A and B are shown apart, each in its own frame.
Chain A
């Protein structure tokens, strides 16, 4: 489908939405605005032959075969949560100034009215290791935005195969911060089910039970938050403080639940219908129509979340998966794992 064909279709849908109950006209207006002001920040499709958002939107809508499914995809856009560059900047600043600093001050019982408060905080910060779980967080950028100089940088995921506790202590702690380390912070940009971050959180908690650990994701889904809270009960030295916890009502579930958004039954139906086009059925990376569900089989995340750097696997695959000749994505995801070759 071309943008012009899509525009025609939208005009007809607007006309048929006679009492405005579907809200096609409102979505159309919002998308026209957001495609100009926000969606063009998506890194993955900025270069190469992907085309502007409006072209990708037309191809994506055109990937569905029936008019009802195409309309349902368009209605889905009402639920899309796009975290742009400005939102990430704000999250970086908030993560440090509100979450990390508050956690350190509360833990050390610092008196904010004391004349030495600033110096005391700096002293604690010098005994704190700021780390990222995966490189998608962008620790370097985070340090720059918060004006934090001369800090060591550590990415847990980079050491996932060779991690050893003593080696971590010797090279990352003693060499960088000396013997008197007191706190470790683990950042992550987006956490879905939490299955990917869980092992690293446990490793950090087990480095030394006297070292306090803070897990501070920028955006986290309900399943990931539940996992973090469970760890908080399990490890006395572990704290969890997300910048933004996305509420459950923003996620679609495999089966209908009471009180869900009235759009969801239609979107669910479409997600199921188009799924065989989106992913090779039964292939290793077929997590089902509602996205990656981690290793705990708690049910797929069913997210509609896109960040300007990438589209998480927890987002429903029809938004981000490409299958040549079958399905065109709206926000193509770059995956760490190579996707299966399409026959």
Chain B
């Protein structure tokens, strides 16, 4: 039996025809995400693994073609289906090699020039990808999509397009000798190769680049114009340019000692701030990389959300609100379901596979009954200074309901000085009628029971797993991966028959392993991971101790803490 969750980043590593099987369209139910597929620039933010890259992948022509050829329906309305796109993933494009080799003393002393070279490299890379996608539409494989978006591509038109293009002054003469589409492609790829060759120490810096640097975004707009005026694509067809992993530029800026001036990020903000109607940008970024009022490169104009670009925040989309249900539960269900089908499991049940496998919500009472043996003898605190009769009455309650007994202890501690508490009153469990009082303290009671009985607190069941995922699909998959790995170690089943449920102990062990893994991961992160690890450790221990020591449960929500602003300011300096 295989672990269907072994590859957490499936959507980034599988071919397009399989992507359509595994991609979950649940997030697209939120109309805010449709802005990615309509004209206008968009910044898509979300934490690691929140699904940014998967959403941006939908813009790729290969994926559109795969949808055309598959039984999976295109997951968006018709008005979000026709566009031409190009994309650059900063980490894998070579753009992050900038700064690993000094171009010249002049560039070292004036980082703006380095920004211009970086922008020039981005321009050419994106243009190259756009032309590659035009060639894809021209091929047999892309013919169906070309028809759908209204593209009409021929060699004559392409050559005509190349000749129109070279007349644009934004190229600074680089295309002067280009007469055919083939020659155009050669010049563009050669330009990229010149940069790569230099950055990899295979050649000196080509002098010609000093005099032909292009403005951020200009050549891309030029290409869009020429494609339309040559009749290759319809006048009204939107062109989307995707730039993913924006946050990686912060490392590049740090390596260049320029964290104070976000030189590389501002190049991209300049592209957004151009208000160039010819192309729309989609930038995939982690939230921390989007500083408020990030300036556009070179012109010091601020690029503003709502004016130059729309912000689509996956965290907000998944957070839900007072009046609407969060999409995260549905996303988990769908992703889980698709993973299992992708792994070709047999005998998949109908309905929620998540609930089928992990079970329904386990109450605090269920958890105690499943995990704690002889809890009745140990639940009531030994240091509880109260008459033996009352203590015995609480112990009696704990025989049948340890959680109620623990709540009873808290209730007794809270009321012992104000009302007359008798063993009979305890046996009638008056706290059970205080619905809100009880609800707010149940988890704390559970924690105290497990702590008293020297057991780790447990989580299991589908709702717990979704809750622990913290609205992050990557974390959800990771938890599933660990639980499944634990299940594989504890079963002799080798076929691909879907299990008839995974028992609570296996789930709890897997969840603890996932938790340890993520906690270690914090420490391994660069840029203060070790400090954050210690902070979380101290904080977690302090909160846990506070909750377990508070035997009267007088303040169950006491998990907040104050952080003086002056300390934050000092840290930011």
A residues engaging B (CB < 8 A)? 3-4, 7-8, 10-12, 14-18, 25, 29, 32
**Interface presence of B324 (CB below 8 A):** no
Which chain A residues border B509 with CB–CB below 8 Å? 10-11, 14-15
Nearest chain A residue, comparing its CB with the CB of B450 = A18
Which chain A residues border B451 with CB–CB below 8 Å? 18
Chain B 411-466 interface residues, beta-carbon cutoff 8 Å to A: 450-451, 454-456, 458
Q: Tell me whether A4 and B505 are in contact (CB under 8 A).
A: no
Chain B 152-177 interface residues, beta-carbon cutoff 8 Å to A: none
Q: Tell me whether B490 and A14 are in contact (CB under 8 A).
A: no
Beyond A8-B505, A25-B512, A25-B513, whether A14 also contacts B456 by CB under 8 A is yes
Q: Tell me whether A15 and B371 are in contact (CB under 8 A).
A: yes
Residue from A4, A7, A10, A17 in contact with B456 in the complex, judged by beta carbons closer than 8 Å: A17
Minimum C-beta distance from B151 to chain A (A) = 51
Residue from A7, A16, A32 in contact with B490 in the complex, judged by beta carbons closer than 8 Å: A7
Q: Which 8 A-B pairs have the closest CB atoms?
A: A7-B490, A11-B509, A18-B454, A18-B456, A11-B505, A7-B489, A18-B455, A15-B456
Distance in angstroms between the alpha carbons of A18 and B378 in the assembled complex:
15
Number of A-B contacts (CB under 8 A): 41
Q: Tell me whether A15 and B490 are in contact (CB under 8 A).
A: no
Distance in angstroms between the alpha carbons of A14 and B486 in the assembled complex:
12
Which chain A residues border B454 with CB–CB below 8 Å? 16, 18
Which chain A residues border B371 with CB–CB below 8 Å? 15
B residues engaging A (CB < 8 A)? 371, 450-451, 454-456, 458, 486, 489-492, 505-506, 508-509, 512-513, 516
Minimum C-beta distance from A34 to chain B (A) = 14
Distance in angstroms between the alpha carbons of A7 and B492 in the assembled complex:
11
Minimum C-beta distance from B375 to chain A (A) = 14
Which chain B residues border A11 with CB–CB below 8 Å? 486, 490, 505-506, 508-509
- Beyond A11-B508, A18-B450, 14 additional contacts (C-beta under 8 Å) are A4-B490, A4-B491, A11-B490, A11-B505, A12-B505, A14-B509, A15-B456, A15-B458, A15-B508, A16-B454, A16-B455, A17-B456, A18-B454, A25-B516
Distance in angstroms between the alpha carbons of A4 and B491 in the assembled complex:
6
Q: Tell me whether B489 and A32 are in contact (CB under 8 A).
A: yes
Which chain B residues border A7 with CB–CB below 8 Å? 489-490
Which chain A residues border B492 with CB–CB below 8 Å? 4
Distance in angstroms between the alpha carbons of A29 and B508 in the assembled complex:
15
Which chain A residues border B505 with CB–CB below 8 Å? 8, 11-12, 15
Which chain B residues border A17 with CB–CB below 8 Å? 456
Minimum C-beta distance from B58 to chain A (A) = 37
Which chain A residues border B506 with CB–CB below 8 Å? 11
Interface of A is mostly: helix
Which chain B residues border A16 with CB–CB below 8 Å? 454-456
Distance in angstroms between the alpha carbons of A181 and B168 in the assembled complex:
85
Beyond A8-B490, A14-B456, whether A29 also contacts B450 by CB under 8 A is no
Which chain B residues border A32 with CB–CB below 8 Å? 489
Minimum C-beta distance from A32 to chain B (A) = 7
Which chain B residues border A3 with CB–CB below 8 Å? 489
Distance in angstroms between the alpha carbons of A29 and B486 in the assembled complex:
11
Q: Tell me whether B512 and A14 are in contact (CB under 8 A).
A: yes
Distance in angstroms between the alpha carbons of A11 and B450 in the assembled complex:
16
Which chain A residues border B489 with CB–CB below 8 Å? 3, 7, 32
Instruction: Report 29 cross-chain contacts, Cβ distance below 8 Å, ordered by A residue.
Output: A3-B489, A4-B490, A4-B491, A4-B492, A7-B489, A7-B490, A8-B490, A10-B509, A11-B486, A11-B490, A11-B506, A11-B509, A12-B505, A14-B509, A15-B371, A15-B458, A15-B508, A15-B509, A16-B454, A16-B455, A16-B456, A17-B456, A18-B454, A18-B456, A25-B512, A25-B513, A25-B516, A29-B513, A32-B489
Which chain B residues border A8 with CB–CB below 8 Å? 490, 505
Distance in angstroms between the alpha carbons of A11 and B454 in the assembled complex:
15
Which chain A residues border B508 with CB–CB below 8 Å? 11, 15
Minimum C-beta distance from A68 to chain B (A) = 15
Which chain B residues border A18 with CB–CB below 8 Å? 450-451, 454-456
Minimum C-beta distance from A230 to chain B (A) = 46
Which chain B residues border A4 with CB–CB below 8 Å? 490-492
Nearest chain A residue, comparing its CB with the CB of B458 = A15
Distance in angstroms between the alpha carbons of A204 and B392 in the assembled complex:
79
Which chain B residues border A15 with CB–CB below 8 Å? 371, 455-456, 458, 505, 508-509
Nearest chain A residue, comparing its CB with the CB of B451 = A18
Which chain B residues border A14 with CB–CB below 8 Å? 456, 509, 512
Which chain A residues border B455 with CB–CB below 8 Å? 15-16, 18
Nearest chain A residue, comparing its CB with the CB of B488 = A7
Distance in angstroms between the alpha carbons of A7 and B513 in the assembled complex:
14
Residue with the highest number of chain B CB atoms closer than 10 Å, among A11, A12, A17, A25: A11
Minimum C-beta distance from A69 to chain B (A) = 20
Residue with the highest number of chain A CB atoms closer than 10 Å, among B451, B492, B505, B509: B509
Nearest chain A residue, comparing its CB with the CB of B487 = A7
Distance in angstroms between the alpha carbons of A7 and B488 in the assembled complex:
10
Distance in angstroms between the alpha carbons of A14 and B508 in the assembled complex:
10
Distance in angstroms between the alpha carbons of A14 and B512 in the assembled complex:
9
Which chain A residues border B491 with CB–CB below 8 Å? 4
Nearest chain B residue, comparing its CB with the CB of A3 = B489
Residue with the highest number of chain B CB atoms closer than 10 Å, among A3, A8, A15: A15
Distance in angstroms between the alpha carbons of A32 and B486 in the assembled complex:
11
Distance in angstroms between the alpha carbons of A151 and B371 in the assembled complex:
66
Minimum C-beta distance from A22 to chain B (A) = 11
Residue with the highest number of chain B CB atoms closer than 10 Å, among A14, A29, A32: A14
Which chain B residues border A29 with CB–CB below 8 Å? 513, 516
Distance in angstroms between the alpha carbons of A16 and B508 in the assembled complex:
12
Residue with the highest number of chain A CB atoms closer than 10 Å, among B454, B489, B512, B513: B489
Which chain A residues border B512 with CB–CB below 8 Å? 14, 25
Distance in angstroms between the alpha carbons of A296 and B486 in the assembled complex:
48
Residue with the highest number of chain A CB atoms closer than 10 Å, among B454, B490, B512: B490
Nearest chain A residue, comparing its CB with the CB of B516 = A25
Distance in angstroms between the alpha carbons of A25 and B519 in the assembled complex:
14
Nearest chain B residue, comparing its CB with the CB of A26 = B516
Nearest chain B residue, comparing its CB with the CB of A20 = B456
Nearest chain B residue, comparing its CB with the CB of A12 = B505
Distance in angstroms between the alpha carbons of A177 and B413 in the assembled complex:
91
Which chain A residues border B516 with CB–CB below 8 Å? 25, 29
Minimum C-beta distance from B366 to chain A (A) = 15
Which chain B residues border A10 with CB–CB below 8 Å? 509
Distance in angstroms between the alpha carbons of A15 and B513 in the assembled complex:
11
Distance in angstroms between the alpha carbons of A18 and B451 in the assembled complex:
8
Which chain B residues border A25 with CB–CB below 8 Å? 512-513, 516
Minimum C-beta distance from A279 to chain B (A) = 32
Distance in angstroms between the alpha carbons of A308 and B513 in the assembled complex:
29
Minimum C-beta distance from A20 to chain B (A) = 8
Nearest chain B residue, comparing its CB with the CB of A13 = B509
Minimum C-beta distance from A41 to chain B (A) = 21
Nearest chain A residue, comparing its CB with the CB of B454 = A18
Distance in angstroms between the alpha carbons of A16 and B512 in the assembled complex:
13
Nearest chain A residue, comparing its CB with the CB of B508 = A15
Distance in angstroms between the alpha carbons of A29 and B514 in the assembled complex:
11
Minimum C-beta distance from B527 to chain A (A) = 26
Minimum C-beta distance from B358 to chain A (A) = 16
Minimum C-beta distance from A1 to chain B (A) = 13
Residue with the highest number of chain A CB atoms closer than 10 Å, among B451, B456, B505, B512: B456
Distance in angstroms between the alpha carbons of A32 and B482 in the assembled complex:
13
Minimum C-beta distance from A35 to chain B (A) = 11
Minimum C-beta distance from A17 to chain B (A) = 7
Nearest chain A residue, comparing its CB with the CB of B490 = A7
Nearest chain A residue, comparing its CB with the CB of B489 = A7
Minimum C-beta distance from B14 to chain A (A) = 25
Distance in angstroms between the alpha carbons of A96 and B450 in the assembled complex:
57
Nearest chain A residue, comparing its CB with the CB of B505 = A11
Which chain A residues border B456 with CB–CB below 8 Å? 14-18
Nearest chain A residue, comparing its CB with the CB of B457 = A18
Which chain B residues border A12 with CB–CB below 8 Å? 505
Distance in angstroms between the alpha carbons of A32 and B490 in the assembled complex:
13
Distance in angstroms between the alpha carbons of A3 and B488 in the assembled complex:
11
Minimum C-beta distance from B518 to chain A (A) = 14
